[in-house]
Structure 1
Amino acid sequence: MRSHRGATTLDDLAADLALALPPPWAWSHLTAARLFRLPLPSEWTGAEPLHVLRPTECAQVRRPGLVGHRGLEHRQTLTLRGHPTTTAVWTWSDLASLPELSVTDLVIAGDALATRDSALLEQLVAMGRAGGSRRGSRKLRAAAELLRSGSGSPMETRARLAFLAAGLPEPELNATVHGPDGHFLARVDFLWRAAGVVVEYEGDQHRTDRRQWQNDIARVRLLEESGLRVIRVTSLDLFDASRLRVLVAMLRGLLT
């Protein structure tokens, strides 16, 4: 079969290739993760092969542009925007078998799922702990213990992992802050409530969006007037080792 429309999105390409696949099958691994729109370290390109899963007793699909896997009978599937796909939990589990993904990458993807649906957190952790001897099981177990619900972005997950690695107490994620009279003040990225410390991660949109920048200034002022100490961090604070040490030392002094 040939497609003349020239697929420009993963959804279109998956729909085209689905016409040539012998059932039963489902999209899995990296392809399923992209269909779930999980945050991954690389963007999709049309040159990326699609991962397809079939039962163990069936022959793997061998054709250009596809990577075949076996084990469909052991996994749960669903239909996602018309695509047969492994479930979110199984998709996350299968990502651990990909050598290009790190433990941090798995935590970022798992946090995204657990934040979308907090009920998934327990299932993801259980899946990670029961990884057995499958490829990537050690990486999966390590990631499962680090998953949390409430992360607002991949960089917020990276910040949280940096705080944990430094031995800091765990903060509340996307926590609601109220004033002394009980009225709502703000929802903040990280909150150590007892110490009265807030960390806000500032993505680039906080700098380039004029209205966002103005709102941020007013928001920080409001939080500080309520007695909270607000620390604003950027990606450089997380990726530059010396700046991260300074940030961690500052937080440790405020939290102890």
Structure 2
Amino acid sequence: MPRQPTPLPDALTTGPFWFREAIDFGVPRRRLAASDLTHPHRGVYAPAGADDQLAACESALPLLGEDRRFSHLTAARLWGMPLPFEWRSGEPLHVLTLPGAEPLRRSGIVGWESADRPGGALVGPFPVVAAADVWAQLSVPGATGRDPETGRRQTLSRVWLVAVGDYLLTGPRAPGGKRTPLCSRDELVAAAITRRGKRGAKALTWALERVRAGAQSPRESMLRLALVDRGLPEPAVQPPIATSAGIRHPDLGYLEERVLIEYQGDHHRTDPAQWREDLRRQQFFEDAGYRVIAVTIEEFADDCFALALRIRRALRGRSYGA
């Protein structure tokens, strides 16, 4: 039976620590090679077995100090921003060094420098670039890493910049359903201004004109954009509708024409409670005199061409199935 590693001093068991700290506590060098420790960065050790995003960020905390912050893709994940791809083990961490400090160059770290001083915040124990500035950073080539096949630096698409902007103005859902915005529109405008004349500026300008508060999922944001792209008027986002059960908010709506649009993700189909709630909501809206058009993921396959046609007919006052 393998021998258990000798216990570390308590001060070194709560998170990452520097090699020099371990030596100062009298930990032998050979102890640092034991299987219960990882060596994520040069000079840094951390408890093994926590191979997830937060553990990866925690392992880099000793490298940051006061002049560095998580930025770009890493900060976006810490803020909970919606992104088109999940975190994967081994994903490099993005770190921004503020003016006057030495840039960070280490394996597993994508080091960024800035002539400006973007706003900062704490997300839990993690120092991050302010949410609006992260949104602007996501337009920069390399902000979301490199394509694994071509090696080209990747960035967030214009549509996804809108989805992220919508999320920031709406805020994450807290227990009880309340949402608190992570930034204001003015902060998004200010962040976009810092990118003027730089790569990504046009994408930010395009996205900023289309960002709306209230959208509660990326698919809702993309649906709104797709309908406008198909020549339809822009629908209202989460408009208040008076029903017999009180004020309810559909995903999108054309209030003058009394046409509402509800996006039904897969969980609406697989969760019986959600399915029943969807039926109740639709009945409330219809009893209040509105036509409800339910949309599923399959209707995105043709860039919403057929869906846009169906909605256009509804807006013209045609009957169901016309």
Same fold (TM over 0.5): yes
Q: Distance in 2 between matches of 1:186 and 1:84?
A: 38
AA at the equivalent of 1:139: A
Tell me which of 7, 10, 13 is aligned to 2:56: 13
Tell me which of 221, 225, 228 is aligned to 1:161: 225
AA at the equivalent of 1:217: L
Give the match for residue 309 of structure 2. 249
1:200 aligns with 2:262: yes
Give the match for residue 35 of structure 2. none
AA at the equivalent of 1:138: K
3-state secondary structure, aligned to 1:2: strand
Q: Distance in 2 between matches of 1:79 and 1:64?
A: 24
Give the match for residue 112 of structure 1. 167
Q: Is the 8 A contact 1:158 1:238 kept in 2?
A: no
Q: Which has the larger radius of gyration?
A: 2
Aligned-residue identity in percent: 34
The superposition leaves residues 15-39 of structure 1 with CA deviations (integer Å, 9 ceiling, x where unpaired) of: 2111134541111000100000100
Give the match for residue 292 of structure 2. 230
Give the match for residue 144 of structure 1. 208
Q: Equivalent residues in 2 for 1:1-256 (5 A)?
A: 1-21=44-64, 23-71=66-114, 73-97=116-140, 98=143, 99-116=154-171, 117=181, 120-129=184-193, 131-179=195-243, 184=246, 186-241=248-303, 244-256=304-316
3-state secondary structure, aligned to 1:3: strand
Q: Distance in 2 between matches of 1:40 and 1:13?
A: 18
Q: Is the 8 A contact 2:220 2:251 kept in 1?
A: yes
The superposition leaves residues 121-144 of structure 1 with CA deviations (integer Å, 9 ceiling, x where unpaired) of: 232134325531222111111111
Q: Is the 8 A contact 2:132 2:183 kept in 1?
A: no
Which region of structure 1 is more displaced relative to structure 2, 132-141 or 122-131? 122-131
Which region of structure 1 is more displaced relative to structure 2, 70-79 or 95-104? 70-79
3-state secondary structure, aligned to 2:63: coil
Question: Would the alpha carbon gap of residues 72 and 28 (structure 1) be closer, same or farther in structure 2, given more than 3 Å must change?
Answer: farther
Q: Is the 8 A contact 1:48 1:65 kept in 2?
A: yes
3-state secondary structure, aligned to 1:230: strand
Q: Distance in 1 between matches of 2:49 and 2:161?
A: 32
What root-mean-square deviation, in Å, do the aligned CA atoms of Structure 1 and Structure 2 show?
2.0
Q: Distance in 1 between matches of 2:212 and 2:301?
A: 21
Q: Distance in 2 between matches of 1:225 and 1:23?
A: 58
Q: Distance in 1 between matches of 2:125 and 2:207?
A: 30
Q: Distance in 1 between matches of 2:280 and 2:99?
A: 59
Task: For residue 255 of structure 1, report the CA deviation from its aligned partner.
Answer: 2.3
TM value normalised by structure 2: 0.73
- Greater fraction helix: 1
Q: Is the 8 A contact 1:129 1:144 kept in 2?
A: no
AA at the equivalent of 2:252: F
Structure 2 alignment gaps of length 5 or more: 1-43, 144-153, 172-180, 317-322
Q: Is the 8 A contact 2:245 2:284 kept in 1?
A: no
Structure 1 alignment gaps of length 5 or more: none
Q: Distance in 2 between matches of 1:35 and 1:48?
A: 14
The answer to which structure, 1 or 2, has the higher relative contact order (CA under 8 A, 6+ apart) is 1
TM value normalised by structure 1: 0.91
Q: Distance in 1 between matches of 2:194 and 2:91?
A: 30
